Structure formats: structure tokens, C-alpha cells
Amino acid sequence: MHTQILRARAPDSAWVWLSAVAIPLMLIAPALWNGYPLLQWDTGGYLARWYEGYLVPSRSTVFGLYLHFGEDSSFWINLGIQALATLWILQLTLRVFGMVRPWRLAAISVALIVTTALPWLTSMLLTDIFTGLSVLALFILVVHGDKTSAIEKCLLFAFTAFAAATHSATLAVLLGLCCAGWIALPFLRSRIAISGLLQGSLTLIAGAAMLVSANFALSGKLAWTPGGYGVAFGRMLQDGIVKQYLRDHCPQQNLKLCPYRNELPATADQFLWGSSVFNTLGRFNGLNDEMGFIVTRSLAEYPLWQAQAAIVATAQQLVHVGTGEGTSGWIPHTYGIIERYIPSQLKPMRAAHQQHWDIDFTIINRLHVPIALASMLAVVAICGGAIWRRKLDDLSLFAATVTLALLGNAFVCGVISGPHDRYGARIAWVATLVALIAIVRHFAGRDEPDGSLPP
């Protein structure tokens, strides 16, 4: 019997070592091919936080410090951390679902790498990889904490707190999930432990404290990351609400934007990041108070219009799931930050394929977009099936959590920033993971939860 067990475990051991080496390499394959970590328009704003010593809108100092930690390695340490964290959370997710066979981890990982944005997110110097991973980490900590060790709980707690601190939208999605958990707790006491939900909620407090502390350490200001009003203003501008407000109030209110009300661009991106009147009036420093005033007053004066715009933006964001938005050769701000503050990185950065416009996501998205949309429909179908059967198992609860995360992400990003493919792609891959777990369970059945071999 002992010999049979050793023979049975030998293939599993081989899969463990193969997965431990091959999966992280595949997760950063786009960066390896590129010859340098992938950059995005927003990357430069995070890189500059260490050097500039002041707060800028929507750029977390926590993530800026994280990037600074990896500068001496040309940021390959950052990609290594992201790849290993992804592998760890994927295997932990499969483990708590009783799918402990290493070859299944390898198969599901390869499927995600080929069919979703996951390797592109892992290969990029951006906060987006932590959004989906933090949803998984929070779910494990809250729902399956009893299946993890004390060390794993501590690591999950720290990881979720860090992810929440890297971006306000990620924090908002996690906060929404925790609120939903507390609301559902009276009905799901057999599935959700109060201790787990409390631990999950405390991660957000820890993440908020982490961000405020980093802001104070770098800028001397005990403050949250600025920029919420400016981003929301851009979305309202795009929906036509700002122009209507200016038409209604400029004769009475002395606003800086009044003389330019007929020259405002059509989109938020053109207003905030292009050559627009926003630059003329001092950008965030010059217009932040006025933008906040217009945002709050517009919410009160046009509530139905705002509600309709929010619903439309959320719906549009749900279907904006294309891979690679903002990952082109035209990211002058990020190039400028690297040239100014990290000149030693210029040569490898300029030699990369991305800087030669060699990356084209057209063919990639012919696969990724339909897979993402189909996966999201599959997750909703799993939830619907559970409601129809009036039976909530662990997979249905997982699907419900991911559904809420998808909706929360679409609402937060679509309503505040406006629909973008980047915001959808960073979390849509989690829906594909749910679908893959459902498929494996359907065709292969469940492993033993403790990973033991059958007699």
C-alpha cells in the first residue's frame, strides 16, 4: 500500500515542480517577449510619487513605493512578486474548492493565460492585477478561512490590505463585497463566519491606514489620495451634464469655466489628459474646487439625468472588457518620468517591443473579448441556477461574489471615470476562473478536500 501511494504521488510531485516554475514564467511571458515590463499611460504617475514628494489625483503612494522597491532590478522583482502572488492565490482558490491535483492547477492556469488578460496584467507596472486577485483573496479569507493556516490568513490579510491601498476603485469594490456580506450574514450563517467577515472588513481599514500613512510619509499631508471630483467631473462632462449646468448657471455664477463653456471637449480623456482648457486653468490645482462644486450641485439639480447616466455607464462598462487599453507605444508621460528620474532604465525601455509599436491587441481581443463576455454570462447562470434550485453551494456563493464584484467594478469605474476596456479586463478574468472551476467539477468531480489520496 505504501509503495502504491508513493507511485501515485510521484506524478503529482512532478506537476508541482513544473507548475512552480512554468506558470510564473508564462504569467510574465508578454514582458519577457517585450524585453521590459509593460508600461501604461498611468505608470509614470505612480513612479514619480517617490521622487516628487507630493500627492496627485488617483495615483496611490503605496503603489508608487512598491514600484520604487523594484527599480534596481528594472522592475523584474515587481513582476516576479505579481506572478508568484497570482500562482499562490490561484492554487489556494482551487485548494479551498477541493481541487487539489497539481495538474488541474496547471491546466486552469494555462487556460487563463491563453484566453484572458491575466498574463498582460501580471506583466504590467500597474495596479490592475491586484483588483481580481484581491477579490479572490477576500473571498477565501471570509468564506474559507477555516481551510487555511494561520500564516496563510495573515498573508491573505496583508495582501488584501495592500491591494485596497493601491487604488481607490479596488478599495470600493472590496468595501461593497464586505457590505454585501454583512447584509447577507443573517441568511448565510452556515456559509459565512462572523470572524471571517470581520477579518475581511478589517483588511480595508488596514489598507486605508496604509495609504494615509504612505501619503503622510511622502508628502507630509495626512490626507487621502486626491482626484475623485476631477474624475467624476470628466464623466459628467462626457455625458453633457457639465455643459448643461454651465448653460443654466453661468449668467449668475462667476465660474472659471464659464468663458470656455462652448469650447469644452467631447470626452473626459480629451479634457483631463489632452490639450484642453483644463491645462489653461491650472489643471487639478486650479480647477479642483470648482469641479467639486459643479459635481455636487449637478447631482442635486439633475438627479434623474444622473441616475440614467449612471445606469448607462454601468451597463457599458460591463461589456468593455478588451485587453491592452493604454498599452501602446504612445505613453509620453511615462517615458518622460523614466527619463527624468530613472535614466538608467532608458536604454532597455527604449529597446522594448512596446516602444517600437510592436504590440497589437486586435487578434488577441478576438479571443479575449468573447471569452470574457461568455464567462460573465456563465457566472450569472450559475447564480440563477442556485436561485432556481434554492440551493447555495460553495461554487454558487463564489459565483455570486464574483457577480457582485463585476457589478461593483462596473458601477464604480463606469460612473466615476466612464467606461474603459482596461477597467473591465482587470476583473473579467476572475469570471473565467469561476467558469473553469465549474467545468472541471462537472466533468471530473471533486477531489478530497484535504488532498489525501483515495485508498
Co-location of 185 and 294 in the same domain: no
Co-location of 55 and 114 in the same domain: yes
Q: Would you state the cell numbers that stand for residue 441, as one nine-digit string?
A: 467539477
Residues 6+ apart with CB under 8 A from 132: 118, 121, 426, 427, 429, 430
The three-point CA angle 429-29-58 to 5° equals 55
Q: Residue 186 carries which DSSP code?
A: G
Co-location of 297 and 221 in the same domain: no
Co-location of 58 and 152 in the same domain: yes
The 10s digit of each residue's pLDDT in 281-326 is 888 888 888 999 999 999 999 999 999 999 999 999 999 999 999 8
Residues 6+ apart with CB under 8 A from 188: 392, 397
Per-residue pLDDT at 452: 33
Co-location of 208 and 280 in the same domain: no
User: Residue 407 is part of which domain span?
Assistant: 2-225+320-444
Which residue carries 510521484 as its cell? 10
User: Is 436 inside a domain boundary?
Assistant: yes
User: Is 365 inside a domain boundary?
Assistant: yes
Point out the domain boundary residue: 267, 301, 335.
301
Co-location of 210 and 236 in the same domain: no
The 10s digit of each residue's pLDDT in 300-309 is 999 999 999 9
Per-residue pLDDT at 389: 83
User: Is 290 inside a domain boundary?
Assistant: yes
Point out the domain boundary residue: 242, 266, 301.
301
The 10s digit of each residue's pLDDT in 143-182 is 999 999 999 999 999 999 999 999 999 999 999 999 999 9
User: Is 311 inside a domain boundary?
Assistant: no
Full-model pTM: 0.91
User: Is 450 inside a domain boundary?
Assistant: no
Co-location of 108 and 205 in the same domain: yes
The 10s digit of each residue's pLDDT in 26-61 is 999 999 999 999 999 999 999 999 999 899 888 999
User: Is 455 inside a domain boundary?
Assistant: no
Co-location of 281 and 421 in the same domain: no
Closest by CA to 295, choosing from 306, 304, 284, 285, is 306
CA 223/CA 216 separation, integer angstroms:
7
Give the H/E segment covering residue 294: helix 283-301
- Indicate the number of domains in the chain: 2
Question: How many Å separate Cα 387 from the centre of its chain?
Answer: 28
Co-location of 150 and 24 in the same domain: yes
Co-location of 219 and 236 in the same domain: no
Q: How far is CA 85 from CA 142, 210, 339, in A?
A: 19, 19, 30
Co-location of 156 and 193 in the same domain: yes
Co-location of 115 and 243 in the same domain: no
